[in-house]
Amino acid sequence: MTNTMNISDQPIAHWRASDSTPQYLHNHLQNVASISKVFSRKIRLEIAGELIGLLHDLGKYSKEFRDYINSALGLLNPDADDYVDSRSLKGKVDHSSAGAQYIWQFAAAKGPLEQQIGQVLALCIASHHSGLIDCLDPDGEDTFGKRMQKAQEKTHLDEVTQVADECVLTRANELMNSPGLTKNVRELIQRIAQHEPQRAPLQQQIGLAVRFLFSCLIDADRIDTADFEEKRSREYRPNSAYVGWEVLSQRLERHLSSMEPRRSIDVLRRNISQECLDAASRESGIYTLTVPTGGGKTLASLRFAIEHAVTSRGDSACLAQAVRG
């Protein structure tokens, strides 16, 4: 028996229940690749970022996953031959290994640096639903190698490479063969070795770069999914079109100037805030602000952060404050 419901021939990545609209897999992969490319440009690994975005859900092209998602969405008749118990399979259909294996098989036949790059990219893809996996377990077993050798009946690598959208694999192959992929990673390692020799071991710094690349994929995947599921999210998201620091500084200064001191504590707060503003012209680094409760730390530190971003031409500011219950 075959299904009797209307199912698109195109593989589905997600389904918006509010208006019964599918997000087709090739659209999701291309969207995530585009977003991840922008994010990873921060450390000049945009080729790598685009590549892992394109291949992160390659396994969703498999018939096993398509049967699973179509059954879960009610798009398959329960009496159909392809219908499966989606509840029992939730989280058990492997769709992350195929893309990782695809990159790893390509890189394994190359030189040592290409193999290391391939391992990093495969690691990001294989881990995108679990957090970065360990390459070695506590007993020294090669868990990464074991994952890359996972059986075809589980990962469906050969199957998905036969049925995946041509636009996805063509672009992925272009990126894997791009000389810029290796060049960018080599230059990143050189920059780390040149500028961070005293701060931490080279391997640790490279590990942080891998985590950053991984976070680019995770954020891109979640952003595209959220924007699809809630259409207004895309409208409200600035997508790097942020208000400039100068404008934010002017707004904050107007607000602060409207706060006339009425008590002695207000004078102290204003003095603390002014000291923070004066300190904003210092070189970038790590500074501390120790002020008792009620001293106006929130606005004073924000004033420092915004003005420092103006003078140093920074593109982000992160504020963290300890809160005691």
Return the pLDDT at 9: 76
pLDDT the model gives residue 3: 45
Q: Is the pLDDT of residue 319 over 80?
A: no
Fold of 12-236: Hypothetical protein af1432 (1.10.3210)
Task: Write out the H or E segment, with its range, that includes residue 14.
Answer: strand 12-16
pLDDT over 80 (residue 100): yes
Q: Assess contact for 47 and 216: CB atoms under 8 A.
A: no
Instruction: Summarize the confidence of residues 287-307 as an average pLDDT.
Output: 91
- Averaged pLDDT of the chain: 89
Per the CB < 8 A criterion, the answer to whether 301 and 317 are in contact is no
Rg of the chain in Å (alpha carbons): 25
pLDDT digits (tens, 9 = 90+) for 229-286: 988 887 787 766 788 899 999 999 999 999 988 999 999 999 999 999 999 999 888 8
pTM above 0.85? Answer: no
> Distance between CA 94 and CA 71 in Å, rounded?
16
Please state, in angstroms and rounded to a whole number, the distance separating the CA atoms of residues 63 and 262: 71
Distance CA 288, CA 232 (A): 39
Q: Does 5 score more than 60 pLDDT?
A: no
Q: Give mean pLDDT, residues 293-311.
A: 92
312 contact partners, CB below 8 Å, separation of at least 6: 284
CB 144, CB 123: distance < 8 Å: yes
pLDDT of 324 reads 62
> Where is average pLDDT lowest: 17-26, 35-44, 81-90, 178-187?
81-90
Tokens for 36, please give them.
């991840």
| Residue-range domain boundaries for the chain | 12-236, 245-312
Distance (Å, whole) CA 86 – CA 64? 11
Q: For 162-214, write each residue's pLDDT tens digit.
A: 999 999 999 999 999 999 999 999 999 888 888 766 656 788 888 999 999 99
* pLDDT > 70? residue 7: no
**Does the pLDDT of residue 219 top 60, yes or no?**
yes
Which pLDDT value is given to residue 232? 82
Q: Is the pLDDT of residue 77 over 90?
A: no
pLDDT at 325 over 60: no
The dihedral region occupied by 184, where left means phi > 0, alpha psi between -120 and 50, and beta the remainder, is alpha
At residue 76, the pLDDT reads 80
